[in-house]
Structure 1
Amino acid sequence: MGNSYSFFFALVCLVVLASTLALASAYCGPIKADDRDRLQFALNLEFFEAEFFLFGALGHGLDALAPALAGGGPPPIGAQKAKLDLVSRQIIEEFGYEEIGHLRAIITTVGGFPRPQYDLSPQNFARVFDRALGYKLVPPFNPYLSTVNYLLASYVIPYVGLVGYVGTIPDLANYPTKKLAASLLGVEAGQDAVIRALLYGRAYEKVHPYNITVAEFTNSISYLRNELAMCGIKDEGLIVPLELGAEQKTETNVLSADANSLSYARTPPEILRIIYGTGSEYEPGGFLPKGANGRIAKSFYKV
């Protein structure tokens, strides 16, 4: 335990250092937007989750199950059915159907926009995991290859939506949109908790064929998201030093939360920096190679 403690303590120190240096150039404050634009921004993540979960469990996505919700937007690149055990497949299938409901609820309430172009290919996920680990994995990480791989890839997604809703709700002006966002947050938080709990059950297992544990993967992914967002520590892996554990009494971290065990919050620019993988809300890439949709995201497009 001493070696793992030293590793995670060093990791936290690096996060703090990187975040402190980055704060000089990254804007971490609120943005100006109305309720409609704030909730529509969330569609970028809801589309992402819907396609990844539906393809992972069923081998097809919105175009087969709810084509009208896609609004004529292009199908995701490289999404495919994952090799999941029965229980995990049932959970992920349920998550996919829940995302259809989320899309419908947002579009019905504030209107929508066409599904953006997503890159959900194994090659893109491999690039994300290589960057998180700091070197190229051999063989390249494939999220669709096994249950644990898919759960690790899923670790990347709902949490970003969760902290986005936490950041959005205080800035909403009207009761109907606040109610909708709170309801969406409840389910997003549940999805994230289930994924983290499933991974925590394997925390010290090494992911085949890599000499890396599940917990180490999650810590690396969380570190990368903090680094890309450039607004401090708002993301933590499954095992942390006592300083970051609940009441500084546990190294387990099934739920990621602050010193008072409250959810972290992120702004739209932070979220774009993460899902673009560029560390800049002005430079699309990563999971959204052509950029996100909606007024908030497009306000950052370079002219």
Structure 2
Amino acid sequence: MTQSTHLIDALDARVERRNDRREFFKNALGAAAMTAAGATAMSLSSAAAAQSVTDADVLNFALNLEYLEAQFYSYAAYGTGLDNALLTGSGTQGAVRGGRKVAFTDPIVEQYAREIAQDEIAHVRFLRIALGSSTVSQPVIDVSVSPTSAFSVAAQAAGLVPAGTAFDPYGSDEAFLLGAFIFEDVGVTAYKGAAPLLTNKTFLDAAAGLLAVEAYHAAIVRTTLYGKGIDVPSLRTSADAISRARDSLDGGGANTTIFGANDIDQGISSYSATPINLSATQAAVTVSNIVPLDADGVAYSRSVSQVLNIVYLNSGAVAAGGFFPAGMNGNIKTSTAAA
């Protein structure tokens, strides 16, 4: 057998495995609802833990978040949202409020925006295939620009703009990066926190792959903000302020050190007197903190309730608000008050 024949056989086998995996996704969710009884308490709020949670519920929770990210990046990169064929499903389908193309001046940032947009759209397609007939539709999503829009409320809470003032994430390359940073890290911690809820190993493998991509995206945004922040320090301090605002919503701590107790959200800079991995003689130096992690070098998790607190922009027990004005679609949609 020639080398070319071996290569063709290998490629054919790879395609067959991919098709088998997709077919498994389609059938598994339709065949039966698989509960996550023991794992539920680990990452769900007490209210959600009272009911059985299926793998479909967890994937639909992720899909709601992917709708948000895909719409924001699609508008920012191309000026258009997702095709309606990618938005249908059970529950009340909602429209996207706002969104427009960024007039990028930095070609590198524009290329990043396009790449991330394509990835997020692919995530929506992938999850919809996995869920099949269990797919929820896109709920109402707010990515608009007004003094009371989700982006503006988040920016006001972080002190980026005065109260009652609009924040426009489409106004410049830098504003786009800060807008992306508002929820980019949330996706990483959300996937890690939701992983223990999945009972099927194939779904768990897929979630791990999605988490890895979201982590790459977060690193792109964090690195670019920090790099631009060398010349414009306000970018760096603004990102750090957004991190503190997120912590105030999910009950994650004061964010005064990069490895303090409950500090599950970290900015892109370390201002600590004892930064992680630095000796005492280096402690006074401000260093980058591109990868948020604990003292053991492990990334943080968020419970679904903590994620909802952030995207709803409310630390209380709520079922709607912020980027999801009418709430999410699916069975996981209500938060509990942050601790």
Q: Within 5 Å, which residues of 2 pair with 1:125-136?
A: 125-133=151-159, 136=162
**What residue number does 1:30 align with?**
43
Amino acid at match of 1:273: N
**What residue number does 2:299 align with?**
263
Q: Within 5 Å, which residues of 2 pair with 1:148-187?
A: 148-187=174-213
When structure 1 is superposed on structure 2, of 41-50 and 84-93 the one drifting more is: 84-93
Please give the TM-score of this superposition, normalised by the length of structure 1.
Answer: 0.81
Match of 1:71 among 88, 108, 116: 88
Q: Which runs of 4+ in 1 moved over 6 A?
A: none
Question: Is structure 2 residue 219 aligned with structure 1 residue 196?
Answer: no
Contact 1:235–1:256 under 8 Å retained in 2: yes
Amino acid at match of 2:313: G
Unmatched 5+ stretches in structure 1: 1-27, 207-211
Alpha-carbon separation, structure 2, partners of 1:36 and 1:284: 21
Instruction: Give the Å deviation of 1:140.
Output: 3.7
Instruction: Give the Å deviation of 1:281.
Output: 4.3
Alpha-carbon separation, structure 1, partners of 2:77 and 2:179: 13
Match of 2:168 among 142, 167, 174: 142
Instruction: Give the Å deviation of 1:138.
Output: 9.3
Bigger Rg over Cα: 2
Instruction: Write the deviation string for residues 204-244 of structure 1: whole angstroms up to 9, x where unpaired.
Output: 444xxxxx711111111111111101143111111123467
Structure 1 SS opposite 2:325: coil
Alpha-carbon separation, structure 2, partners of 1:47 and 1:281: 23
Question: Is structure 2 residue 130 aligned with structure 1 residue 109?
Answer: yes
The number of aligned residues is 265
Instruction: Give the Å deviation of 1:133.
Output: 1.2
Change (3 A) 1:169 1:244: farther
Question: Is structure 2 residue 311 aligned with structure 1 residue 290?
Answer: no
Change (3 A) 1:291 1:169: same
Alpha-carbon separation, structure 2, partners of 1:50 and 1:134: 24
Amino acid at match of 2:181: Y
Q: What's the RMSD between the two structures over aligned residues?
A: 2.2
Alpha-carbon separation, structure 1, partners of 2:85 and 2:249: 33
Q: Which has the higher contact order (CA 8 A, sep 6+)?
A: 1
Alpha-carbon separation, structure 1, partners of 2:249 and 2:274: 20
Structure 2 SS opposite 1:180: helix
Question: Is structure 2 residue 247 aligned with structure 1 residue 247?
Answer: no
**What residue number does 2:33 align with?**
none
Instruction: Give the Å deviation of 1:152.
Output: 0.7
Match of 1:220 among 234, 241, 255: 241
Change (3 A) 1:134 1:290: same
**What residue number does 2:142 align with?**
119
Alpha-carbon separation, structure 1, partners of 2:307 and 2:72: 18
Identity %: 31
Instruction: Write the deviation string for residues 232-282 of structure 1: whole angstroms up to 9, x where unpaired.
Output: 311111112346743245732011111122111001110010010011342
Instruction: Give the Å deviation of 1:203.
Output: 2.0
When structure 1 is superposed on structure 2, of 149-158 and 123-132 the one drifting more is: 123-132
Alpha-carbon separation, structure 2, partners of 1:38 and 1:230: 22
Structure 2 SS opposite 1:295: coil
Amino acid at match of 2:192: V
Alpha-carbon separation, structure 1, partners of 2:231 and 2:164: 18
Structure 2 SS opposite 1:115: coil
Contact 1:49–1:99 under 8 Å retained in 2: yes
